[in-house]
């Protein structure tokens, strides 16, 4: 498929005039970097496990070794992954608008690796580790016996990734900043998320209620699709660079007085 070259002019005008652009990203933006999404069909080693059953406090208590191994596998994918053109387009977008907030549900750090500055991590970061019992951040530990999770060097509790599991609250500060951005932005791009996991899924709805123009970038429809102003139904790595290119041309035309 040829990359898209044209976008609705009112969308480019809204982006060009916005004082504050917010972006909400999900696993779909990192799919083109080789990191599997949560709800698309899983392949490979862990295909028989449902991520939604592994990323829970309950699973950690029942089978810490299994949960640790699954996250070790995801960490190995993240270590190999590089930002893709979708991540890089958002870095460029940040440089083009007066205020920019990037809210991500991803725990892979690829937005920061690409060079984005104002990033809010709603679900934590997979490269950080903390103790599930004493809560302290931990940076080194003795290798665990095969199939087990390592023990906390402070209290011998179970170590876990510093990510939000299903059923756990989000970091308060991150959620507050995300809510502020959602209700203050004039344009929100919603990229590569199935828009079903709360509270992140409600952020675009708050933006809509506050009068923002909301744009969804996702090859598949989501529960949000009927509500948004524009749907760009293509992979983020293809459509975001094209959108940023079109915005730059639009801004150049405005500056040239045409
Ligand atoms: P999902 O796996 O639920 O959804 C990924 C979305 O990305 C789907 O709607 C795909 O259609 C879309 N997608 C796939 N490839 C794409 C591409 N190249 N470009 C654009 N979109 C693409 O992932 P999330 O919505 O991020 O939470 O999931 C939300 C949360 O649920 C995750 O942060 C995680 C998960 O369980 C926790 O672990 C707490």
Which pLDDT does position 258 carry in this prediction?
56
Element (H, E) at 137: strand 137-138
Omega of the bond leading into 199 within 30 degrees of 0 (cis): yes
Atom 38 of ligand 1, nearest CA residue:
165
| pTM, rounded to two decimals | 0.95
The catalytic position among 20, 87, 123, 229 is 123
For 247, the 3-state DSSP assignment is helix
Q: Where are the alpha helices (DSSP H) in 40-171?
A: 51-54, 57-62, 64-80, 85-96, 110-114
User: Which 3 state secondary structure label does DSSP give 134?
Assistant: coil
- Residue 21 confidence class, pLDDT cut points 50, 70, 90: very high
Q: What is the pLDDT of residue 42?
A: 65
Pocket test for ligand 1, best of 88, 192, 222, 237 (most atoms within 8 A of CB): 192
CB atoms closer than 10 angstroms to residue 69? 19
- Looking at residue 1, its pLDDT comes to 63
Task: Give residue ranges with CB within 6 A of ligand 1.
Answer: 26-28, 31-32, 37-40, 51-52, 55, 105, 123, 164, 166, 192-194, 197, 217-220, 222, 235-237
Q: How far is the CA of 144 from the centre of ligand 1 (A)?
A: 31
- Residue whose tokens read 């123009």: 213
Q: pLDDT tens, 236-250?
A: 999 999 999 999 999
Other CB atoms within 10 Å distance of the CB of residue 257: 5
Question: What is the Å distance from ligand 1's center to 195 Cα?
Answer: 8
At residue 5, the pLDDT reads 72
Q: What is the DSSP letter of 158?
A: B
For the chain, what percent of residues have pLDDT higher than 70? 96
Could you identify the atom of ligand 1 that is nearest to the CA of residue 52? 36
**In the chain, pLDDT over 90 holds for what percent of residues?**
85
Beta bridge partners of 162: 125
**123 classed as catalytic:** yes
Output the residue whose Cα is nearest ligand 1's atom 2. 38
**Using CA positions, which residue lies closest to atom 33 of ligand 1?**
105
* b/e map 189-205, b = 16+ CB within 10 Å: bbbbbbbebeebbebbe
Q: What is the pLDDT of residue 49?
A: 79
Per-residue pLDDT tens digits for 154-167: 999 999 999 999 88
Q: At 54, is the pLDDT very low, low, confident or very high (cuts 50, 70, 90)?
A: confident
Q: Residue of the nearest CA to atom 11 in ligand 1?
A: 220
Strand partners, 161: 129
Contact predicate 125/109, CB 8 Å: yes
Choose the weakest-confidence range: 18-22, 52-56, 67-71, 134-138.
52-56
Please report the atom of ligand 1 found closest to the CA of residue 55.
Answer: 38
Overall average pLDDT of the 14-34 stretch? 97
In the predicted model, what is the mean pLDDT of residues 162-188? 97
Q: What is the pLDDT of residue 45?
A: 58
Give the H or E element holding residue 256: none
105 CA distance to ligand 1 middle (Å): 9
The answer to whether the CB of 188 falls within 8 A of the CB of 15 is no
Query: pLDDT tens-digit profile of 106-153?
Result: 999 999 999 999 999 999 999 999 999 999 999 999 999 988 999 999
Which pLDDT score, from 0 to 100, does residue 227 have? 98
């Amino acid at each position: 498929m040829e990359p898209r070259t044209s976008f609705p002019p009112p969308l480019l005008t809204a982006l060009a005039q916005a004082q504050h652009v917010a972006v909400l990203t999900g696993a779909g933006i990192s799919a083109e970097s080789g990191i599997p999404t949560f709800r698309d069909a899983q392949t490979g080693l862990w295909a028989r496990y449902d991520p939604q059953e592994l990323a829970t406090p309950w699973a950690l208590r029942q089978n810490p070794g299994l949960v640790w191994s699954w996250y070790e596998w995801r960490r190995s994918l993240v270590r190999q992954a590089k930002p893709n053109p979708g991540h890089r387009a958002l870095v460029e977008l940040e440089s083009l608008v007066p205020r920019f907030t990037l809210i991500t549900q991803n725990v892979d750090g690829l937005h920061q690796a690409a060079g984005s500055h104002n990033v809010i991590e709603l679900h934590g970061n997979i490269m950080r580790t903390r103790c599930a019992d004493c809560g302290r951040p931990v940076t080194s530990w003795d290798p665990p016996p095969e199939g087990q999770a390592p023990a906390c060097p402070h209290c011998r509790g179970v170590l876990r990734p510093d990510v939000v599991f299903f059923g756990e609250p989000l970091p308060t500060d991150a959620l507050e900043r995300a809510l502020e951005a959602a209700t203050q932005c004039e344009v929100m791009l919603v990229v590569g998320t199935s828009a079903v996991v709360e509270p992140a899924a409600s952020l675009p709805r708050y933006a809509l209620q506050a009068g923002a123009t909301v744009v969804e970038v996702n090859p598949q429809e989501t529960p949000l699709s009927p509500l948004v102003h524009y749907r760009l139904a293509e992979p983020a790595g293809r459509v975001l660079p094209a959108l940023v290119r079109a915005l730059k041309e639009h801004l150049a035309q405005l500056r040239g007085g045409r």
